[in-house]
């Protein structure tokens, strides 16, 4: 299922009542059944784009969700799993119930749900936390619980919005491996500011800058691109390497 943006814009009012353009008249498509990585400098509109899809913000223009106009699909019927940076867990509920929540909403058979939860949490090394309330967990563990909650659900579209930010490299690699192997054939939008990560996981890399769409690249095309924004993004990796040595 392709996701096509046609002249989509997002405007909002900031605290000073100024009108800010988060997304400025963009038109492009995310490819179905592929890992679509969205990159760009902070504040370029990546999260706003994701939130258009989940129905959290109003947009101008048209978004086609497969064959259908997204606006005509109820948010609950879009079947999207979305992990973002916010605390989207119930703090006074234990890990198991938090992860089981979408499965219960979808009326998945309890034994089947139990098996899925155990399998995913074991993979993410949070199986020993099932009876803990999420308020006792560290940020890294909370991130993994949020990801587990996303993985257990059989969705049409998975959106990972900086979902690996609080994880160490080992866990990041583990999560990315899961996305690559277990979610194969699903449409994935992976938002990150980490270019190394983007290159390692992407089928296609989409670049945004100042609310505008800059282009779509394969990882190799991205590395060879002369686009100024891409060059700036790549320079971050080079700088990181310099810091290391």
Partner 1 sequence: MRKRNYSNVDYSYSSLPSTRKEAFKDVYRHNFMTIFKSGVFLLLSFLPLIAFMIVMEINKMFLTLDNYSESDLFGVLFVWDLIVHIGFVILFTLVVLSLSGVFRIIKLLVFQEGIDFFYDFKKGIKENFKPFIISYFIYITIYLLTYLLQLFFLNQFVGIMTLVLFHIVFTPAFIWGLFSINIYDAKLIKHIKNSYFFYMKTLGFSLLYVFMMDLPILISFIFYENIFGFGVNFIFIIIKNVLLVLALLFFYPFLLVVGSLYSNSKFDLFINKLHYPEIYQKGLYKSK
Q: How far is CA 221 from CA 140, 175, 204, 206, in A?
A: 33, 25, 9, 11
Nearer to partner 1, 78 or 133 (CB): 133
- Residue 116 and residue 152 in contact, taking contact as beta carbons nearer than 8 Å: yes
In the set 115, 139, 184, 218, which binds partner 1 (CB under 8 A)? 139
- Residue 1 and residue 78 in contact, taking contact as beta carbons nearer than 8 Å: no
Query: Is position 131 an interface residue for partner 1 (rule: CB under 8 A)?
Result: yes
Query: Is position 14 an interface residue for partner 1 (rule: CB under 8 A)?
Result: no
Query: Is position 152 an interface residue for partner 1 (rule: CB under 8 A)?
Result: no
Query: Is position 138 an interface residue for partner 1 (rule: CB under 8 A)?
Result: yes
Nearer to partner 1, 144 or 186 (CB): 144
What is the nearest approach in angstroms of partner 1 to the Cβ of residue 133? 7
Q: Is 19 left (phi over 0), alpha (psi -120 to 50) or beta?
A: beta
What is the nearest approach in angstroms of partner 1 to the Cβ of residue 88? 11
CA distance 32 to 205: 14
In the set 12, 27, 104, 106, which binds partner 1 (CB under 8 A)? 104
- Residue 2 and residue 66 in contact, taking contact as beta carbons nearer than 8 Å: yes
What is the nearest approach in angstroms of partner 1 to the Cβ of residue 130? 5
Helix (H, G, I), strand (E, B) or coil at 166: coil
Residues that bind partner 1 (CB under 8 A): 86-87, 91, 94-97, 100, 104, 110, 114, 117, 128-133, 136-142
């Amino acid at each position: 299922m392709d996701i096509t943006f046609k002249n989509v814009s997002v405007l909002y009012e900031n605290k000073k009542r100024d009108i800010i353009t988060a997304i400025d008249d963009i038109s492009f498509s995310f490819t179905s059944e592929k890992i679509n990585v969205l990159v760009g400098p902070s504040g370029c509109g990546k999260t706003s784009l994701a939130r258009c899809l989940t129905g959290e913000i109003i947009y101008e223009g048209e978004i086609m969700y497969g064959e259908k106009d997204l606006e005509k699909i109820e948010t609950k019927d879009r079947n999207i799993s979305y992990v973002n940076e916010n605390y989207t867990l119930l703090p006074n509920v234990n890990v198991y119930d938090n992860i089981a929540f979408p499965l219960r909403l979808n009326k998945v058979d309890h034994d089947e749900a139990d098996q899925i939860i155990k399998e995913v949490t074991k993979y993410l090394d949070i199986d020993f936390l099932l009876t803990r309330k999420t308020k006792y967990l560290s940020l890294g563990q909370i991130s993994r619980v949020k990801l587990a909650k996303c993985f257990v659900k059989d969705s049409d579209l998975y959106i990972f919005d900086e979902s690996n930010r609080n994880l160490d490299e080992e866990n990041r690699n583990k999560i990315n491996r899961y996305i690559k192997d277990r979610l194969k054939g699903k449409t994935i939008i992976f938002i990150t500011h980490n270019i190394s990560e983007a290159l390692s996981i992407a089928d296609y890399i989409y670049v945004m800058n100042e609310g505008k769409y800059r282009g779509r690249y394969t990882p190799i095309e991205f590395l060879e691109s002369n686009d100024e924004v891409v060059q700036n993004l790549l320079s971050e990796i080079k700088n990181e390497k310099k810091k290391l040595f």
